[in-house]
């Protein structure tokens, strides 16, 4: 599976754990673990909350694939 988010990397950069993030969000730690390993993805609203909690731009949490061009969206 291709990585879609950089959550695990950003947590390390911010010296935070998935367990800490789960507590901040009121989520199960196993859910956050799945997000960190890119097995599952948070919904957009949750992604925005995560960015606010970690004090980063939402773009810093995402992996932009070179395979996808802006033209393929339309």
Domain that holds residue 38: 7-63
In a domain, 69, yes or no: no
Does residue 44 or residue 65 have the better pLDDT? 44
Query: How big is the chain by its Cα radius of gyration, in Å?
Result: 13
Per the structure, the count of domains in the chain is: 1
The model's pLDDT over 2-17, given as tens digits with 9 standing for 90+, comes to 789 999 999 999 999 9
Task: Please write the tens of the pLDDT for every residue from 22-58.
Answer: 999 999 999 999 999 999 999 999 999 999 999 999 9
Does 53 reside within a domain? yes
* 58 phi and psi angles, rounded to 5 deg: -55, -35
CATH of the domain at 34: 1.10.260.40
pLDDT at residue number 74: 46
**What are 12-31's pLDDT values in tens digits?**
999 999 999 999 999 999 99
């Amino acid at each position: 599976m291709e990585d879609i988010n950089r959550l695990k990397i950003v947590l390390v950069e911010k010296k935070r754990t998935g367990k800490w993030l789960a507590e901040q969000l009121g989520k199960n730690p196993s859910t956050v673990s799945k997000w960190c390993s890119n097995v599952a993805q948070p919904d957009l609203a949750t992604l925005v909350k995560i960015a606010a909690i970690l004090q980063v731009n939402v773009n810093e949490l995402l992996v932009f694939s070179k395979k996808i061009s802006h033209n393929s969206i339309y």
